[in-house]
Structure 1
Amino acid sequence: MKGALLVNLGSPNSTSVKDVKNYLDEFLMDKRVIDIPYLIRAFVVKGIILNTRPKKSAEAYKKIWWPEGSPLIVLSERLHKKVQENSDIPIELAMRYGNPSIKSGIQKLADKGVTEILLLPLYPQFAMATTETIVVLANKIVKKHFPHIKITDVPAFYNQPDYIAVLSNSIQKHLAETKPDHLLFSYHGVPERHIKKSDVTKSHCKIDGSCCKTPSDAHEFCYRHQCYQTTKNVAKFLNLKEGTYSTSFQSRLGREPWLQPYTDQTIDDFAKNGVKNLAVVTPAFVSDCLETLEEIGMEAKHSFEENGGEHFSTIPCLNDNDDWANTVSNWINNWNTK
């Protein structure tokens, strides 16, 4: 019997400092998120970050928390419900960090008699700290606890025509309403070293502005290429004029080089250079979360207006958009009929 498991990032159980600290501990101690030797990682995370960041993060979560709970969890649950309604096989929802766990999701499917699982990481672009860590953990859990279950994972879907169509249509609806001077595609950032680590050719990725445009096997696992390609595909679908849109990367941590240009600096520069009406879309996420609602929707908006901008709007993620739910259902149903 077949089944599917949708997996998103995750969220703290509540906005309490204790719950946020537990969540950050699990998240930041993942060796694919902070990819440094364990002892150094433990010192940095447990000895420094967890002694300062949880309180600040808890305050940020309080700004965006819904009565029903974490927006990311609530929106993922709504998507899950719609996808299940359009599918004939069992579908469960899990989070890479926090609850519900990947193990619990697999257990629920196993309890229903599922022996073959389609694993669908809810990330359009591949990255070590997103898609890869989900696939690796899920396979590890299956090998240890569910050896009779077979897992098939859905690769990054950044260039799937049906995904691009759904994303583009959601953006177009917003553009028609707000008529911005410029559209910024803001993707979650990663350290530059992650790009080079994911390079299967070990030589193609140089992050020099040209390698992402040169055909290579490396692109299958290159987050940077896939982000720029997402922007390119949407711009083509919507027939956006050159110069009216651009790409940037948000949420950097630490002092080492992360993917550039940085979103916060880019938004401030737009305001200082006369852009009055700016719209921001965040296509690295399919569900609105702390990074979209607070970092972009609140902090970036405030900074834009402080620097001379007049109208700042954020385009919602796909969330539980009916067309998006139908697209996910179709992927699952097509796999089920093979």
Structure 2
Amino acid sequence: MSKGVLLVNLGSPESTDPKDVKKYLGEFLMDERVIDVPLWARTLLVKGIILNTRPKKSAEAYSKIWWEEGSPLIVLSERLQDKIDNITSVPIALAMRYGTPSIYDGLKELEEKGVDEVLIFPLYPQFAMATTETILVLAEELRQKYFPKMNFTSVPAFYNHPDYIRTLANSISERLEGVDYEHLLFSYHGVPERHIRKSDITNSHCKIDGSCCQTASTAHQFCYRHQCFETTRLVAEYLGLKPNTFSVSFQSRLGFDPWLKPYTDRTIERFGNQGMKKLAIVTPAFVSDCLETLEEIAMEGEEIFHEVGGKEFTVVPCLNDREEWVKVLARWIDEWAHQKPVEA
């Protein structure tokens, strides 16, 4: 068999034009694993409400962070792909779950290179229905329909892999070297609380009550909340952070259902109201900087902090195409290519 790798990230609109943003949001939000309600309700919400109100606002947000080369997430993902491709022994293709290049495009590219054994590599450290799961489900649907001769292997969530923890911790340490800050906030992308319960393979463990994430369970293999807290714990341990100098929050909620708490924007506001003047923030749910990190955190988050009296707001960049990160991914890929399992 000939092996190849498909790196998969979230995706981005083609441009900051509201029409392109509307097309992208439509594909993203109509995914049943993103908004997991019956089709009629999802259609009413997305096509009847959100796509008639949100594209213009989102387009304005994208325009604030758009690079000359294009979408930061796409550009950074392409840089990562190129660097890995230069030092690995197998072909590397890039795809986006939403927008272009599509997962179909990526698989077709590998097929044309003679690849019939593919490592599907979701670029998400933590497992979630709306990220890793939707990638794997779509990839399998495409395999059955268009690429029946291909075999797939997928990289498990690497939220606690020592290589990832070391690389993330080093990126934090490097950015905060010489920075005088009072608190380090680990902000993860939010998901509805019901996603946590739906992903519970035991159907009984996840209660989101403050204790279940610390109690050993097979449910943790697919528990996004546990994996976020565990990433934070391991990084804090690696960096020797003292208790009460760091915490976890969740950003980017949508709608009125309960999402994972505490919310990032309210946490930032609370810190400022309590007199905190110097806050640092890192976003470990993302490996590539994007709208959620460059605009929602680095711009809106800083504005909130300053409005409530905060002075210094330091944002740690995502891993992006950091050399240490490139080498880690390349090593994992080569280990897979030579029949050594990528394990946490």
TM-score class, shorter-chain normalisation, is: over 0.9
1:85 is matched with which residue? Answer: 86
Q: Does 1:213 align with 2:214?
A: yes
Q: What is the CA distance between 1:110 and its match in structure 2?
A: 0.3
Give the counterpart letter for 2:100 in structure 1: N
CA distance in 2, matches of 1:16, 1:177: 40
What RMSD, in angstroms, separates the aligned Cα atoms of the two structures? Answer: 0.5
* Pairing of 1:48-67 with structure 2 (within 5 A): 48-67=49-68
Give the counterpart letter for 1:183 in structure 2: L
* Pairing of 1:1-40 with structure 2 (within 5 A): 1-40=2-41
Give the counterpart letter for 1:319 in structure 2: N
* Pairing of 1:171-210 with structure 2 (within 5 A): 171-210=172-211
1:331 is matched with which residue? Answer: 332
Structure 1 ranges of 4+ moved more than 6 A:
none
* Pairing of 1:125-274 with structure 2 (within 5 A): 125-274=126-275
Helix, strand or coil: the match of 1:184?
Answer: strand
CA distance in 2, matches of 1:53, 1:122: 26
Write the deviation string for residues 114-134 of structure 1: whole angstroms up to 9, x where unpaired: 010000000000000000000
Helix, strand or coil: the match of 1:248?
Answer: strand
CA distance in 2, matches of 1:122, 1:187: 14
Helix, strand or coil: the match of 2:177?
Answer: helix
Structure 1 unmatched runs, 5+: none
Q: What is the CA distance between 1:111 and its match in structure 2?
A: 0.3
The alignment covers a number of residue pairs equal to 338
Give the counterpart letter for 1:92 in structure 2: A
Write the deviation string for residues 212-264 of structure 1: whole angstroms up to 9, x where unpaired: 00000000000000000000000000000001000000000111100000000
Q: Does 1:95 align with 2:96?
A: yes
2:118 is matched with which residue? Answer: 117
Write the deviation string for residues 135-177 of structure 1: whole angstroms up to 9, x where unpaired: 1101110111000000000010000000000000000112213
Q: What is the CA distance between 1:109 and its match in structure 2?
A: 0.2
Q: What is the CA distance between 1:275 and its match in structure 2?
A: 1.0
CA distance in 1, matches of 2:279, 2:193: 27
Helix, strand or coil: the match of 1:178?
Answer: coil
Q: What is the CA distance between 1:179 and its match in structure 2?
A: 2.4
CA distance in 2, matches of 1:324, 1:158: 14
Structure 2 unmatched runs, 5+: 340-344
CA distance in 2, matches of 1:177, 1:199: 42
Helix, strand or coil: the match of 1:241?
Answer: coil
CA distance in 1, matches of 2:258, 2:90: 44
Q: Does 1:285 align with 2:286?
A: yes
CA distance in 2, matches of 1:146, 1:174: 43
CA distance in 2, matches of 1:139, 1:155: 16
Give the counterpart letter for 1:219 in structure 2: H
CA distance in 1, matches of 2:39, 2:257: 18
Give the counterpart letter for 1:118 in structure 2: L
TM-score (norm 2): 0.98
Q: What is the CA distance between 1:178 and its match in structure 2?
A: 1.6
2:295 is matched with which residue? Answer: 294
CA distance in 2, matches of 1:316, 1:111: 35
Helix, strand or coil: the match of 2:98?
Answer: strand
Helix, strand or coil: the match of 1:119?
Answer: strand
Helix, strand or coil: the match of 1:114?
Answer: coil
